[in-house]
Amino acid sequence: MTILTFTLILFLGTFIAGLLGSLTGLGGGVVVIPLLTLLFHVDIRYAIGAALLASIATSSGAATAYVKEGITNIRLGMFLEIATTIGAVVGALIAIYMPTNTIAIIFGVVLIFSAIMTLRKKNEHALAGGSPLAEKLKLNSTYPVDGQKVPYKLTNIVGGFSLMGVAGVLSGLLGIGSGSLKVLAMDGLMKIPFKVSTTTSNFMIGVTAAASAVVYLQRGYMDPGIAFPVILGVLCGAITGSKLLKKMNPKTLRLIFAVAITLVALQMIYNGVQNKF
């Protein structure tokens, strides 16, 4: 295979990854790792480096659409970033010493979990009575619903913060955005309406990924020949996806994609157990 063929296939593949990632809410990074390792047999360390860049690209690309609407809770994002950035740096350091097959197996398990999470029932209600800690940290805010400002309050701050730390470790270890775990912490534990948690999680993914990306860049995990088609492909896919999302309801797509991703995840786990990485 020539470099040109590889670049074109990789661009096309990551374009689809970015497109599906943004339509289903799974993110662009998670599809990049199986694409590179299972299809192109690229070493998983290069794949993790590329996936981190894909996560930053999707997050920054999509965020330009979100900030206009003023839904993102910047204070909440920043507060939780303490947990995710520390976690991400720890995860990136563990990754250097962990066998690649173990990383592949953990990745598979997280992927299945993420696929299930895209099908969950969303939390659409604003919580009226929050916890005192949320009040103290000024985390309660409002968000627009049909042109009106609806106030919402937060609860279980400590639980959410801890789960964010775990999300950060996984993000640093696997090169993914851990968006599903972030949303679980915010939707499930802190009871934030999903419109707010989706955009806030997206804001956080970029910062978390950047914290571990600097470690990976310096450790030589980022190859220029892989980086440019992956970033440009995922970015174009994510922007196309966010435009399509305004016109369609991807419910069926989400289900098909969740099943497909689970199969890919099982393949990753199988190869990991067989020591193929």
Partner 1 sequence: MKQVFSKHYWNDKDISLLVGQILRIGVLLASVTLIIGGVLYLTVHGKDPLPDYTKFIAETNANTTLSGIIAGVMQINVPQIIQLGVLLLICTPIVRVIGSLVGFIIEKDTMYIIITLIVLSVIAGSIISGLKG
* Cβ–Cβ under 8 Å, residues 118 and 26: yes
Binding of residue 85 to partner 1 (CB under 8 A) = yes
Decide whether 89 or 115 has the Cβ nearer to partner 1.
89
Q: Which of 16, 70, 101, 162 binds partner 1 (CB under 8 A)?
A: 70
> How many other CB atoms sit within 10 Å of the CB of residue 237?
29
Task: State which residue, 78 or 116, has the beta carbon closest to partner 1.
Answer: 78
- Residue closer to partner 1, measured from CB, 224 or 248: 224
Looking at residue 189, the DSSP 8-state letter turns out to be I
Q: With binding defined as CB under 8 A, does residue 43 bind partner 1? A: yes
Binding mask 113-142 for partner 1 (x = CB under 8 A): ------------------------xx----
Is 81 a binding residue for partner 1 by CB under 8 A? The answer is yes
- The residue among 88, 59, 90 whose CA lies nearest residue 204 is 59
Interaction pattern, residues 199-218, with partner 1; x per rule: CB under 8 A? ----x--xx-xxxxxxx-xx
Q: Is 153 in the site for partner 1 (CB under 8 A)?
A: no
Contact, 175 vs 21, CB < 8 A?
A: no
Q: Which of 89, 110, 173, 258 binds partner 1 (CB under 8 A)?
A: 89
103-123 burial, b at 16+ Cβ within 10 Å, e below that, comes to bbbbbbebbbebbebbeeeeb
φ, ψ (nearest 5 deg) of residue 126 = -85, 135
The one-character DSSP state at 125 is P
Tokens of 191: 């009871």
Confirm or reject binding of residue 86 to partner 1 (CB under 8 A): yes
Query: Per rule CB under 8 A, is residue 2 in the interface with partner 1?
Result: yes
CA atoms within 13 A on the CB side of 49: 21
- Give the pairing of strands 141-145 and 148-152: antiparallel
Cβ 151 to partner 1 shortest distance, Å = 15
User: Binder to partner 1 among 38, 75, 240, 262 (CB under 8 A)?
Assistant: 75
Q: Does 61 bind partner 1 (CB under 8 A)?
A: yes
Supply the minimum distance, in Å, between the C-beta of residue 87 and partner 1. Answer: 10
Q: Which helix (H) or strand (E) holds 142?
A: strand 141-145
> Residue 6, interface with partner 1 (CB under 8 A)?
yes
Whole-angstrom CA distances from 162 to 155, 166, 201, 233 are 13, 7, 15, 34
Residue 57 is a binding residue for partner 1 (CB under 8 A): yes
Q: Are 183 and 201 in contact (CB under 8 A)?
A: yes
78 is a contact residue toward partner 1 (CB under 8 A): yes
Binding residues for partner 1 restricted to 223-252, rule: CB under 8 A: 223-229, 231-232, 235
Contact call for residues 17 and 54 (beta carbons, < 8 A): yes
Residue type, 2: T
Interacting residues with partner 1 (CB under 8 A): 1-4, 6-7, 40-43, 45-46, 53, 56-57, 59-61, 63-64, 67-68, 70, 72, 74-75, 78-79, 81-82, 85-86, 88-89, 92, 137-138, 203, 206-207, 209-215, 217-229, 231-232, 235
